[in-house]
Every structure is written in C-alpha cells, then in structure tokens.
Amino acid sequence: MIIYPFRKPSSSSFLFFLFFFVFQLLPILVLCQQQQQDPLHLHGGSILAMSGSNCIAMAVDSRFGSGPQMIHTCPRTVLLLHSRVMVGLVGLEGDVQSLSHEFSVQMENLKLRRFLGFGFASSSSSSSSSSSTSSYSSQWSKTTSMTPKSASCLMSHLLYQRRTAPYYVEPIVVGLEEIKATCRGQGNDHISNDSNHYNDDDDDDKGDGDDQETMIRYKPFLCAQDVIGAQSKSHAFVCSGVAKKSLYGCAESLWRPNLSSKELVQVCGKAFLSALERDCLSGYGAVLYLMEGGKGIQEIQLSCRND
Amino acid sequence: MDSVFGVEYDGGVIIASDQNNARSILTYQTNLDKVAELSSHSAMGVSGPNADLVNFSQYISKNLALYELSNNGLKLSPHAQANFTRGELATALRKGPYQVNIMLGGYDTIKNQASLYWLDHLAAMAKVNYGAQGYASSFCLSIMDRDWKEGLNQEQAVAIVEKCIKELQVRFLIAQPNFIIKAIDKDGVNTLSFGADPADN
C-alpha cells in the first residue's frame, strides 16, 4: 500500500509514480531466473476428441517437455471413470497430476457416499454376505455410474474452486449418454442413468414379456473447459492443448456428421496428426481411444513424427 | 547452474551431481554433497539454491523417517516416496514454492526393482530411465539417448555417467571440477566416487 502524504502538482510526480512502481517490481523480475512463459505452453501436449454415430474418439499425444526440450514420452493423463466417460487432461504437468488426483478422490468419495447413504456402516471394500448389501452395490454399479454431464460439472467445480490461483489445466470431458427409446407407438426418450431413478427396472437385459422394445442409443457428449472451468460443449469435436488452434482448423475441415466408428478413427487420427506435424510442443507418439456404445474402449497407437 | 543427472540400470540407479556451491560470481565451496539420502534405499539429487536444497531434502528425508517410526518400520517404496515428494512440491507451489529440481532414485526391496523419477520445481513428475536437470540436460541427454539400453550393469551405467561428466567439463561454461556419484541398489545407497570429500565441510 503506497501512501502519498501530499500531491505535487508538477509533472515530475508522474515520473515519481513510474519509478516507484518499477522499483517495486524490479527485484521480483530479477529473482525469477527463467523467462515468463505461459504455463499452459511450458510442458506441451494436445488432445482432440471427435464424435461419430454412437461413438467417440479421443486422440492424445505423448510429449512431456520443459519448453523446447523433450523430457519423457508418456501418453497424456486420461482418467477413465467407466466405459462411457473419459477425462483428458493437458496443461502444466504438475497441475495435471494434482487435478487428476483430486478428481479421483472426489470419485471415490461419491462412490462411498452413495454406498453409505443406504445406512450401511461397513466399508465399501468389505465383502458382505448379506443379500441386501450386494443388491445395493449391483444397483449402484448399474444405475448410478456417472453421466458425462455430471463428470463435466464436477471437473468444472474443481477448477472454479481455485478461481484466484487456478490449476493451469484445460480438461476435456467426453462420454456417451445412454438414451433408452421405448417403442410403443410413441418414442419416449428418457436418460436412464439419473441418480434419482435407482428403482427403475433394467429393461434392456431382461427378456421382455411385454410387447415393448427398448433400444439403447448413445448420444456423444463432448465438453472442453478452460482453466477456471468454463464449459464449452459441442456435438462435433473439441480440442485442447498447445496445438489447439491448428486442431480446430483440421477438425473443422475433416469432420462430418454420422461417422461410423472405423471412419471416425481415420478422421480423428488424420486431423490430429496433421495438426501435430506443425507443432513442435506436441508429438512424440499419439494414442487414440475409441469409445463405442455398448462395446467399451479401444486403444489404438498412431505413428507420428518424433519432434 | 547445478548439474544433476541419473541413469537407471538393471538392479539399481546411479545419481550424480556436481559439488559446487556458488551464488552469482562467488564459489562458496566445491565439496558440497547434493545427492541427499532419503532412506536406506533411496536418494535424490537436488539442484537449486542452497537454502531450498538443504531445507527441502531434510524435510522429505525426516518425514520419511517419521513415517517409518510411526508405522512399525514400514518403509515407503520409491514410487510412494516420489509421489509424496511431488505432493509436497505441489502443496508448496502456490504458497511459497521450493525452487528445487530433483532426480529421485530408489530401489524397491520388495519388488526388486529400481526406479528413477524426474521432478520439476512446478511439481511435475515423470518416471524415466535416465534424465538430467538444469543445464546438464542440454549436454548429457543426447549422450544418454545414444548409449542407454535395457539391461545395463553398474559398470556400464557408471561409464555413461563418466562420459557425461567429461562432456560437461569440456563444454560447459561454468567450471565444475568435482562430481559426486552415488549408486542405489539392493545393498542401499553407496558413494561410488567423489571429487572432493563432502565430509570436510
């Protein structure tokens, strides 16, 4: 707090102001030995996620560097919540590791809380022989696994909690939302995995005595967030990382709606690699995760430039 | 200005660092030991200002000792120690960061496996086969890229480290006459060689 007892009317007061402020800042700038780099561009890395019909592909690169120097090649951190939600993290690597740990802890807490919310004091790891506990746990795994929307909101919340000193991470949350269409003349769509509906019957895997048919469609969900958790959703593709601008351009030109899973792998892979060719802070290997509705997640290695 | 590097081999890890203690234009001493022993089977080479070097390495090693005392002699694996160290760096990052860059090496006596970790002052961690911190990375990483392969023994690993030291002494602007080399294997942490005896502090 700078206190000026009286204001000098002369023009030298401006120079005094300037000199005073610069003098305050100078020692700080001198002490910082390294250049002031953008923390999001220090360690490198890029992610691209694209949607197809009933499927999603997420391509991540493998470079971890310190500025221009490559330190280690290891695929970007991708958190797998369950077979229908993935979270890719890119940015300052220390914050990526801290945030992925925090997110995992939140997921464990949620699981524990939902399990304990039924009034059983036993820990989730103990195998209880009582039938009621096991039926609750099976109900949990079927009906209360997290939707991509909820995962995205949780991630956004975790990031905004650190509004004043943010995690320099730009995550991407992708997933497939299950939409059960019950065809009985009218098609009544409702999202089946809401947490309130744990009393629903699971029609899809029981043999139906009724005359209604249920198909499960999977609606892709893509959401990219900035460092303070602002969600931007898309039905087509989202990108994050140092090659973000190139990725948006490539993806925009190559994407088209209703891609099959094979086409999606080709399109996403080609768009990703083309953008990476031109970016020196990403590369050194690329991995593509293909998430298909009802089939799980497949890991595909892409070969790319080592620079 | 510090050179810290490490090489993993089959059955252990070598960590080497220079022994200069200097600030600005003055060299205070040339027999400082910058490879701090954390526990019986792990050590970390630390680069950075001497204050943070000593403070942080003592903080981590004493916390690991406390863990052992509080848990009936249960030791943390090198993986756990590295993650603990990273966690401490991450917590301090937005309060008062430790300006230390670390190469942490350890030998897991239960799994019989050596591991080497590269840790940044920004709390980024990577498990590597070989690595270097500071200006040494510009000189030494390419030598290690060329010569390192799976299944080295200790002599070969030391040979790589000696090559790196020679390169630094020829091409690095700052004179670093003394280097200390430590090996961590199933027998614990052993000092293989030093330029000047750190005990004469």
Question: In whole angstroms, what is the distance from residue B102 CA to residue B132 CA?
Answer: 9
In the sheet with B12-18, reading across from the earlier edge strand, the strands are B130-133, B4-9, B12-18, B179-185, B188-194
Question: In whole angstroms, what is the distance from residue A209 CA to residue A205 CA?
Answer: 12
pLDDT at A26: 41
Among A77, A93, A104, the strongest candidate for a mutation testing the B interface, having the largest count of B CBs within 10 A, is A93
Closest CA to A62 of A39, A86, A43, A81: A43
3-state secondary structure (DSSP) of residue A190: strand
Bridge partners of B8, per DSSP, are: B13
Q: Give A72's contacts in chain B (Cβ within 8 Å).
A: 118, 126-128, 131
Split chain B (201 residues) into runs of 10 and give each run's mean pLDDT: 95 96 93 96 96 96 96 95 97 95 96 96 96 94 95 96 96 94 96 90 63
Among A43, A72, A74, A161, the strongest candidate for a mutation testing the B interface, having the largest count of B CBs within 10 A, is A72
Question: In whole angstroms, what is the distance from residue B1 CA to residue B157 CA?
Answer: 24
**How far is A93 from chain B, CA to nearest CA, in Å?**
5
Contact of B114 with B13, CB cutoff 8 Å: yes
Contact assignment for B123 to A97 by CB distance below 8 Å: yes
Contact assignment for B120 to A93 by CB distance below 8 Å: yes
Residue written as token pair 């000026």: A4
**What residues 45-104 of chain A have any CB closer than 8 A to a CB of chain B?**
64, 66, 69, 71-72, 74, 92-98
Encode burial over A99-131: b for 16+ CB neighbours within 10 A, e otherwise: bbebbeeebeeebeebbeeeebeeeeeeeeeee
Partner residue facing B128 (CB), from A72, A95, A97: A72
pLDDT at A24: 45
**How far is A65 from chain B, CA to nearest CA, in Å?**
10
Residues 6+ apart with CB under 8 A from A160: A228, A229
pLDDT at A112: 78
Which tokens hold the place of A272?
A: 């990703």
Residues 6+ apart with CB under 8 A from A283: A61, A62, A63, A276, A304, A305, A306, A307
pLDDT at B58: 96
Which tokens hold the place of A249?
A: 């351009």
pLDDT at A263: 96
Contact assignment for B125 to A72 by CB distance below 8 Å: no
Q: Side-chain half-sphere of A273: how many Cα atoms within 13 Å? A: 16
3-state secondary structure (DSSP) of residue B5: strand
Partner residue facing B120 (CB), from A74, A94, A98: A94
**How many residues are listed for chain A in this entry?**
307
Q: Give A96's contacts in chain B (Cβ within 8 Å).
A: 124
**How far is B133 from chain A, CA to nearest CA, in Å?**
10
Contact of A75 with A289, CB cutoff 8 Å: no
Q: Which residue of A has its CA nearest to B138?
A: A69
pLDDT at A189: 47
3-state secondary structure (DSSP) of residue A229: coil
3-state secondary structure (DSSP) of residue A153: helix
Q: Which residue of B has its CA nearest to A93?
A: B124
pLDDT at A201: 42
Which tokens hold the place of B191?
A: 């000092």
Q: Give A43's contacts in chain B (Cβ within 8 Å).
A: 124
Q: Give B139's contacts in chain A (Cβ within 8 Å).
A: none
Q: Which residue of A has its CA nearest to B118?
A: A71
What is the value of ipTM here, to two decimals? 0.91
Encode burial over A26-55: b for 16+ CB neighbours within 10 A, e otherwise: eeeeeeeeeeeeebbebbbbbbbbbbbbbb
Q: Give A165's contacts in chain B (Cβ within 8 Å).
A: 94
Partner residue facing A92 (CB), from B122, B126, B128: B122
Q: Give B141's contacts in chain A (Cβ within 8 Å).
A: 69
pLDDT at A270: 96
Locate all alpha helices (DSSP H) within A144-260, ordered by sequence: 148-160, 244-254
Contact assignment for B86 to A97 by CB distance below 8 Å: yes
CA distance to A35, A44, A92, B134, per residue, from A38 (Å): 9, 11, 9, 20
3-state secondary structure (DSSP) of residue A139: helix
Question: In whole angstroms, what is the distance from residue A88 CA to residue A28 CA?
Answer: 35
pLDDT at A113: 75
* Segments of chain A scoring below 50 in pLDDT: 4, 21-33, 118-140, 142-143, 186-210
pLDDT at A60: 96
Q: How many C-beta atoms lie closer than 10 Å to residue A265's C-beta? A: 21
CA distance to A25, A46, A244, per residue, from A41 (Å): 24, 10, 11
Contact assignment for B86 to A165 by CB distance below 8 Å: no
Partner residue facing B90 (CB), from A39, A42, A98: A98
